[in-house]
Amino acid sequence: MIKIIENNHVNYDERGYFLEVYNKKVLSSLGINVDFAQDNQSFSWKAGTIRGLHFQIPPHAQAKLVRVLRGRILDVAVDIRKGSPTFGQYVAVELSAENRKQLFIPEGFAHGFCTLEDETEVFYKVSDYYAPECERGLLFDDPALAIPWPVSRENAIINARDLAFPTLAELPDYFVYSGRDGKED
């Protein structure tokens, strides 16, 4: 399931701070047992930039671990696992360089974010490599989702591809929830 990870162990001194942001053993203790394959980083010039809602379908579905290096975002994950008790529901959390929170998003969830500050930099680990043939998306402002984006469609900075994604009702059953340990079939 989706997890918000608080990084509370920051070591400050006269030079600044040191923070451990990834520790496989710590994540495993939280029930996150994922072997990450690739790291990605995005930079957005302006507040109000929306990226998503994106996901990859099997056989290259991706779990993600997202954090912000500079700025702030509203990070959103939507359950797209058909038959899941939380199908169509979303989690939205503010991630920032200041709060150092991370969001773990398992396979079977669409992911997107809106920048809340200019010059925002986002870093995320993914569990499988980028596979353009498996890349898909969900319309970010689908009324059925009712996600409280901090910017209107008219004022958002968003690419044409993301605006052309299907709604949840139009989305094929790429992921089917089996009820076994929260995994899809």
* Mean pLDDT of the chain, nearest integer: 95
Domain assignment present for residue 183? The answer is no
pLDDT class of 8 with cuts at 50, 70, 90: low
Active site residue 174: no
The verdict on whether 124 is a catalytic residue reads yes
Do 55 and 138 touch, CB atoms closer than 8 A? yes
Confirm whether 184 is domain-assigned.
no
pLDDT confidence of residue 116: 98
Instruction: Please give the residue range of the domain that contains residue 170.
Output: 3-176
- What CATH code is carried by the domain that includes residue 36? 2.60.120.10
What distance in Å separates the CA atoms of residue 98 and residue 2, rounded to the nearest whole number? 21
Q: Which of 60, 111, 124, 177 is catalytic?
A: 124
182 with 1: CB under 8 angstroms?
Answer: yes
Residue 12 lies in a domain: yes
In a domain, 91, yes or no: yes
Strands 175-176 and 64-70: unpaired
Number of domains in the chain: 1
In which residue are the tokens 């901090």 written?
150
Over the stretch 31-65, which tens digit does the pLDDT of each residue have?
999 999 999 999 999 999 999 999 999 999 999 99
**Is 182 a member of any domain?**
no
Of the pLDDT bands very low, low, confident and very high (cuts 50, 70, 90), residue 181 is low
Q: Is residue 9 part of a domain?
A: yes
Q: Per-residue pLDDT for 17 more than 90? A: no
> Which one is catalytic: 54, 60, 111, 177?
54
User: Minimal CA–CA distance to 134: which of 34, 73, 81, 59?
Assistant: 59
Would you say 114 and 151 are in contact if contact means Cβ atoms under 8 Å apart? Answer: yes
**Arithmetic mean of pLDDT, 1-9:** 86
pLDDT at 180 over 70: no
Which tokens sit at 15?
Answer: 């030079």
What single-letter amino acid sits at 73?
A: I
DSSP conformation letters of the chain: --EEE----EEEETTEEEE----HHHHHHTT------EEEEEEESSTTBEEEEEEE-TTS---EEEEEEESEEEEEEEE-EET-TTTT-EEEEEEETTT--EEEE-TTEEEEEEESSSSEEEEEEESS---GGGEEE--TT-TTT----SS-TTT-B--HHHHTPPPGGG----EEB-SSTT-B-
Inside any domain, residue 137:
yes
